[in-house]
Amino acid sequence: MAGSGRAVKIRMLFFGPLAERLGEREIEVALELGTTAEQLIDRFELSEFLNSGLRVAIDGQIGASLKDPLADSSEVAFLPPVSGG
């Protein structure tokens, strides 16, 4: 619920070009209770990467709903598109 003042702490993991661009492979963020992965993506302006094939894994699950609230200690990994060879 927005405005509750309660927070959750999550870890964001970045791989490939995104890690290089951000200069970080891992950051810990405190978010208001009820924040979704979708809101997290907006906050860090990562939507353009999603449109380019970036995949998101929540607690190791690729394809988890980005609209569900994140739990305390969740891990949100941003995975670059896999390139063929």
**pLDDT digit string (tens) for 11-41?**
999 998 889 988 999 999 999 999 999 999 9
Contact 17, 25 (CB under 8 A): no
* Predicted TM-score (pTM) of this structure: 0.86
**pLDDT digit string (tens) for 41-52?**
999 989 888 888
Q: In the Cβ-directed half-sphere of 60, how many Cα atoms lie within 13 Å? A: 1
Domains, the chain, ordered by start: 7-79 (3.10.20.30)
Phi, psi of 73 (to 5 degrees): 70, 15
Contact 29, 37 (CB under 8 A): no
Query: Cβ atoms within 10 A of the Cβ of 33, count?
Result: 16
Query: Cβ atoms within 10 A of the Cβ of 61, count?
Result: 10
